[in-house]
Amino acid sequence: METPKATQAAPVIDAEDAEIVTAQPTQLVPIERPLASLAMLEHAEKVAQRLVQTAVSVRGMAIAKLTQPQDWILFKDREGNEQAMLGASGVAKIRAPYGLFIEPLPGGTLEPQRITSEDGKRQGYSMRFLGGSRFLGIEQEMEAIRWDGEKFLGREDSPSDPKLSTYTLGMSKIARDLIGLKGVPADELRAAGLDVSKCKKGSGYGTSQERGAQGVAEAGVAEQAEALWKEILRRTSGDEEAARQTLKEITSYPAGTGKNGAYKAFSGVDSWQKMTKEQGIRIAKEKLSKHPQWGDHAGERQPGEDG
């Protein structure tokens, strides 16, 4: 039997003599110009650091120069830490400086598509798109979904217009998820000079009714609320205490059941700045017009009364 010959490619054991023949050790290929390669890595690290610093700087500018407390929604995590998320009104303000954009995907459309949830219990509209920031040079495929009848703090568009609604949500997702304007520490807002006590309140700040009473009015509602307050002052001859009591009366309501289920009684608000919904102002105006003391026909003799 011919003995196998050892090669230099790998260790071989001779079958008869059980002798280990050692192969040549592997040779490492030296890196050409190692100092140049190290310099390239250091340069890449510095570029990355500058990009991060730029993003932080731009976010700081957005907070301090472009937004107001009313544009932010405060939340508390499980540990009680305060964090902020930019609302739709704030997204509209930073859209141009950040160069936010929404474009259709290849072969796609920005027309919202009707969808049904996997469990078949909900319906809504979905829009898939390419979203990003031209200023930061980033983009990503994203999806915005609006479910019928959904309600949440910070919504400032009309649910009756699904295209506008999903498009607005898409812009918000770019600002919050892609740029990082959600989960912003509340101290960062304070450092930028914003009064966080004027921010809208989200989860972690009591019940939804309490949050609604403490929140700041949405776009276009503040003017209506202030006008209502001035009208109440006019009717009460400038008596602020009587005006506040009247405001509480016309913004309160008893417990009941609505299309979204049962709701608790609400004692009303004592400041027009706490009025957050256009529908609430409309109802308050109706109640004021029928108020027994300050209403449109207060003091008029009713049919059947003596006199």
Q: Which string of b and e fits 196-212 if b means at least 16 CB within 10 Å?
A: eeebbbbeebeebeebb
Q: Which residues contact 284 (CB under 8 A, 6 or more apart)?
A: 228, 247, 250, 251, 275
To the question of pTM greater than 0.75 for the whole model, the response is: no
Q: Domain limits of the chain? A: 53-201, 217-256+268-289
pLDDT at 259: 63
Coil, strand or helix at 82: strand
Angle (nearest 5°) at CA 39 between 35 and 40: 120
Q: What is the mean pLDDT of the chain?
A: 76
pLDDT at 302 over 60: no
**Alpha helices, DSSP H, located in 124-220:** 162-173, 186-191, 208-214
State the pLDDT confidence band at 152, using cuts at 50, 70 and 90: very low
Take residue 105 and report the two structure tokens written for it: 């995907």
CATH code for the domain defined by 53-201: 3.30.390
Take residue 153 and report the two structure tokens written for it: 């703090």
State the pLDDT confidence band at 232, using cuts at 50, 70 and 90: very high
pLDDT at 49: 65
